[in-house]
Chain A
Amino acid sequence: MGVASYDAIIVGAGHNGLTTGCYLAKAGLKTLIVEKNDWIGGAAVSRSLHDGWTYSNCSYVCSLLRREIVRDLELPRFGLQVIPYEGGATFTEDNDYFAYMSDHNALEREIARHSPRDVDAYARFSQTVMRQCRFIRPFLLRHAPDPTSLHPRDLGELAFLVKKAHGLGAKELGETIRFWTMSIGDFLDEHFESDLIKAHLAGSGIIGTGLGVYSPGTAYVLLHHYMGDVDGAIGAWGFARGGMGSISKALGMAFEEAGGEIRTGSGIDSFRVKDGKVVGVALENGDTFDAPIVASNMDIKRTFQRHVDPIHVPDDFTKAVNRFKIRGSSAKLNIALDRLPEFPAAPKDAPFLRGDLHCSTSLAELERGYDDWKDGRWSSEPYFDMLIPSQIDPTMAPPGKHMMTVFVQYAPYDLERGGVRSGQNWTDETRTALANCVYDKMEQAMPDIRQRIVHAEVRTPLDIENEVGLTEGNIFQGELTFDQLLFNRPVPGYSDYSTPVEGLFMVGSSSHPGGGVMAAPGANAAREILRRAGKGKSMPRFAA
């Protein structure tokens, strides 16, 4: 038998690779997706590691997933259901809490309980954030214009940007510039007086980043967490029923229905390149496949540092890839609980317990957590975003039992031990120590948490790298700082999903608009691939 050949091959069955695959297959390309794991989904995955429980091992809540794509690919037909959750709380050391509630009057009362002045502040805060969301959302499903290019398409996109910006008016434009460049800490300090409320709102500005709450640019990261929606409710978050893997599963089914083929269980060894053009892939198990179009769903560092021979790309490009910043800063705990833990501070059955729960009570505490990370330690008082989705989605745990997801910020990839910083310092011992540090802090809200744990999966940045292939465990496939956003993402000159290797494209979160379970990079890349293949018309235009 000769080498199997395809019109297109996608390396990696993360949700973005799957999205690209759907659009290529629907356009009639014979498309293969190869995935190193025995399962698909990458960081959007549900797995059962303890009998009866399902974990969303990596990503755990859904909001960024572009509505246009969900609709266009008919994902609900393949079982995708996103259930919104409401509310959340931050618990203090002295048995109090600040609760976020979606009921406007209840929220005002709760804010007033901590600071009467912050009621007005909150109104101004949410107005600004919503205005910025509305400004940015139309850009997510468009490619980022290259300001150094005189290409009509880039000029067209620039014109779109200018038009949008122009629509803002001078004052608002000034405020937009400020918002995009300031720190979440300064932004909150400008508005609020209550430390607790500030801490509650600040988390979204640092999740997944290598920045502290006082690092400029973190107000923008906050936006990354507010610009999504659930069923059109902007800023709302939800659970994918059955865990985040349901998103990948639905995408996989849509892909296969369109005629695509998925091969799991063997990763790629190398992208095969001839005369500057990609000709196919070689897998670790020795299989090789031919295709004139190959797309990588892996981050740009992994793609080019491990799987493309550097002789095929210019030195400048290699340099740009090498300096791409992709530092891991997050850990994850997935926990099986024998029943709901007690929250002594909260009213019985308080609805906000079904939302995102935290124990960090001041911006200074969050900033110190960042200082620890810079020095190669996990935060001694870690910030975490924890939820118990089984309260809303009963498929996640056996009846009466619960599943808890705990996202931990900050944990370094290159842990420091005895003066040496290395991923190899993550051992069973350090992993357990990290988990204990998180449990200690969780006891602030749930004194009985340790007794409730039946099983726990503790994932360090190294574990995330090893399993999902996210280099250094960076959850966004590359940091979301200005030097790596928009036309700079993944590297200047290649924000149009192409690479110096003809026919090789970057379709994962390393590309614009970046990380999160958004499917936008995958869809934007598919559009570019199809356009170059002369099939640009086969993909619908999403309204801006």
Chain B
Amino acid sequence: MTDTYDAIVVGAGHNGLTAATVLARRGKRVCVVEKSGQAGGMARTVDYAEGARGPEIAHLLYNLSPKVAKDIALRVETRKLPTIAMSPDGKHVEMAGDTLRFADGTAHPEAEAYAALRKRLVKFARLLGQLSDAPPPSLAEGLAGLRDIGGLARLGLNVKRLGKQDMREFLRIILSNAYDLLLDDLADGPVAGALAADAVRGCWSGPRGPGSVFTLLYRLGQGGDVLLPMRGMGAFETAAKDAGVEMRTRSTVASVMVEQDQVRGVTLDDGTILQAAAVLSSLAAPLTMQLAGARHFDIEATRRLQRMRAKGTTAKLNLVLSATPDMPGLSDAQKAARLIVAPSATHVESAFNPVKYGEASAAPVLEAVLPSLSDPSLCKDGRQVISVIAQFVPHAPDGGWTAAQRDDLSKRIIQTLEVHMPGLQDLITHSTLLTPDDIETLTGAPGGHWHHGELSIDQLLTVRPVNGLSRYSFGVRGYYLCGASAHPGGDVTGSPGRNAALQLLAEGVLS
């Protein structure tokens, strides 16, 4: 038996869900096919152990596009969290918006420099952020023919509006490295460390790598506020259901059917056929190509897709604790903040070194949060959960992950935390480690990569995922790429999903 839809979305990550919702809210009959038993992809809330729940992979929102939220009627209650840059000497620093002060409330000598730097960065970031809500500019007519209103031309205009001084600064820093930029204005301590860590989180790059200013600006594109989604990341799924999207979980798409250069639907691994005139895939671009079959792509496109770089560097450690850990120097409220362990920008760079040779950092850089402190619905019995992103961890060391190596990595992460949370070890009742390899297994993201493909300048905008395939339409009529490997990239943004759906409608595939 075959079912027929207007559009089928492969993968119920938040981008697949967004794309589906955008279409469904415009009256299209949409089915999302998801291999796992639970929607959300990298952004979902799971049971850590015995009813203690927490974010499985992604834990915070900072880059969600307001256009997406509006378009899909996303209802997500959030709580704004400050950031605490943990200092090895216990003098932790609180960063909240443009304000910088020591965690004990005393003035920080760099408060002014920090405020000025952050204002400057956010101004530039918002400019770039505007590019996220539309397809990337097209080069189809060469630079001179740039006519996309939503594209570079408008960016150019806005850049002009910045004024000469700011525009010069923008053009100077945009392709440069975060390390130099930060240390031009800040001492190399935990504040610079936290910003350097933000610049490269999820990337295969240290802060000294050119391009790391761009990735820092990328995450500040919506202003840089860090938000904890209350009751987890389920809002995208709710929005999809509200819009009437049909969900098929525990169904894996085996291939995408193509006839006469036109998409016809998908075949599931159990042989079921679902028909549709449009298919949107939220899988990484190379996998999206494979689903349809490489024969539908020209040899250059195939080669480019196969070469797309996606070396994951982030691991996740999810812990259940019997009680709130001690954190000397932090108030109870501050314990619920986003905690960054990155003693200096130099430290972040050094932590990156080993991953280049397939090894994990001896002293990993961490972003940790205890969501249950803000959101008691996650565990109701006094237990707490702590969600930790650890960098830099190779996708797989030579010969693959052994149990001993996994233990060792967990230990290193816990020891790094324990410096600031004495006694942590004794509170842990449950621990789950996800290496980049595990993340790939769970979600299909190549290399377990945060962005489904490196967010480096040579894989951005008009050349994301690859040169010639940047405008969502993917090789075959009716076939669209709607996940993080498309423009603008990863994070919980919803932008690739929304842009792809709108592009599909604009191209008249369903009319």
Could you tell me the distance in whole angstroms from the C-beta of A404 to the nearest C-beta in chain B? 32
Give CA–CA (A295, B247) in the complex, Å: 71
Determine if A190 is an interface residue (Cβ-Cβ < 8 Å): yes
A215 touches B210 (CB 8 A): yes
A181 and B142 in contact, given A148-B164, A148-B168 (Cβ under 8 angstroms): no
Determine if B309 is an interface residue (Cβ-Cβ < 8 Å): yes
Give CA–CA (A162, B141) in the complex, Å: 12
Classify the interface of chain B: helix, strand, loop or mixed: helix
Could you tell me the distance in whole angstroms from the C-beta of A179 to the nearest C-beta in chain B? 8
21 intermolecular pairs with C-beta atoms under 8 Å apart: A148-B168, A163-B144, A165-B144, A166-B142, A166-B143, A166-B145, A170-B138, A170-B139, A170-B141, A173-B142, A178-B467, A214-B209, A215-B209, A215-B210, A367-B356, A368-B357, A482-B176, A482-B210, A483-B172, A483-B176, A493-B168
A181 touches B211 (CB 8 A): yes
Q: Which A residues from 205 to 246 make CB contacts under 8 A with B?
A: 211, 214-217
Determine if B307 is an interface residue (Cβ-Cβ < 8 Å): yes
Give CA–CA (A483, B181) in the complex, Å: 10
Give CA–CA (A190, B169) in the complex, Å: 33
- The listed residue (B142, B180, B353, B458) touching A177 by CB distance below 8 A is B458
> What 0/1 pattern do residues 132 to 158 of B give for CB contact below 8 A with A?
000000111111110000000000000
- The listed residue (A174, A181, A325) touching B456 by CB distance below 8 A is A181
Give CA–CA (A216, B168) in the complex, Å: 21
Could you tell me the distance in whole angstroms from the C-beta of A200 to the nearest C-beta in chain B? 20
A175 touches B467 (CB 8 A): yes
A492 and B184 in contact, given A215-B210, A364-B356, A482-B175 (Cβ under 8 angstroms): no
A173 touches B139 (CB 8 A): yes
Determine if A323 is an interface residue (Cβ-Cβ < 8 Å): yes
> What 0/1 pattern do residues 181 to 197 of A give for CB contact below 8 A with B?
11000100010000000
B139 touches A488 (CB 8 A): no
Determine if B171 is an interface residue (Cβ-Cβ < 8 Å): yes
Q: A216, A487, A488 — which one has the most chain B CB atoms within 10 A of its CB? A: A216
Size range of the chain B interface in the assembly: 35 or more
Closest 8 CB pairs between A and B?
Answer: A174-B467, A482-B175, A166-B142, A483-B176, A181-B457, A492-B168, A182-B458, A170-B139
Chain B residue nearest in CB terms to A364: B357
Q: Which residues of B contact A177 (CB under 8 A)?
A: 458, 462-463
Q: Which residues of A contact B184 (CB under 8 A)?
A: 323
Could you tell me the distance in whole angstroms from the C-beta of A124 to the nearest C-beta in chain B? 10
B468 touches A174 (CB 8 A): yes
A174 and B462 in contact, given A214-B356, A215-B209 (Cβ under 8 angstroms): yes
- The listed residue (B172, B300, B467) touching A488 by CB distance below 8 A is B172
Q: A178, A211, A488 — which one has the most chain B CB atoms within 10 A of its CB? A: A178
Q: Which residues of B contact A167 (CB under 8 A)?
A: 142
Q: Which residues of A contact B211 (CB under 8 A)?
A: 181, 216-217
Q: Which residues of A contact B172 (CB under 8 A)?
A: 483, 488, 492
Chain A residue nearest in CB terms to B459: A178
B462 touches A488 (CB 8 A): no
> What 0/1 pattern do residues 317 to 334 of A give for CB contact below 8 A with B?
000000101000000000
Chain A residue nearest in CB terms to B162: A148
Chain B residue nearest in CB terms to A182: B458
Give CA–CA (A483, B176) in the complex, Å: 6
A481 touches B210 (CB 8 A): yes
Q: Which residues of B contact A316 (CB under 8 A)?
A: 165
- The listed residue (A173, A374, A481) touching B143 by CB distance below 8 A is A173
Q: Which residues of B contact A148 (CB under 8 A)?
A: 164, 167-168, 171
Could you tell me the distance in whole angstroms from the C-beta of B450 to the nearest C-beta in chain A? 17
Q: Which B residues from 109 to 149 make CB contacts under 8 A with A?
A: 138-145
Determine if A534 is an interface residue (Cβ-Cβ < 8 Å): no
Give CA–CA (A405, B135) in the complex, Å: 52
Q: Which residues of A contact B167 (CB under 8 A)?
A: 147-148
A174 and B175 in contact, given A215-B208, A216-B458, A492-B169 (Cβ under 8 angstroms): no
Given contact pairs A168-B142, A174-B139, A211-B210, a sample of 12 additional A-B residue pairs in the complex whose CB atoms are under 8 Å apart: A147-B167, A166-B144, A169-B142, A170-B140, A173-B143, A174-B462, A182-B457, A186-B309, A216-B205, A364-B356, A371-B356, A482-B210
Q: Which residues of A contact B138 (CB under 8 A)?
A: 170
Give CA–CA (A430, B423) in the complex, Å: 45
- The listed residue (B171, B209, B357, B468) touching A487 by CB distance below 8 A is B171
- The listed residue (A168, A190, A374) touching B349 by CB distance below 8 A is A374
Give CA–CA (A319, B457) in the complex, Å: 27
Q: Which residues of B contact A174 (CB under 8 A)?
A: 139, 462-463, 467-468
> What 0/1 pattern do residues 433 to 467 of B give for CB contact below 8 A with A?
00000000000000000000000111000110001
Could you tell me the distance in whole angstroms from the C-beta of B454 to the nearest C-beta in chain A? 9
Q: A211, A483, A487 — which one has the most chain B CB atoms within 10 A of its CB? A: A483
A371 and B210 in contact, given A168-B142, A170-B139, A488-B172 (Cβ under 8 angstroms): no
Q: Which B residues from 261 to 311 make CB contacts under 8 A with A?
A: 300, 307, 309
Give CA–CA (A316, B143) in the complex, Å: 33
Determine if A348 is an interface residue (Cβ-Cβ < 8 Å): no
Determine if A171 is an interface residue (Cβ-Cβ < 8 Å): yes
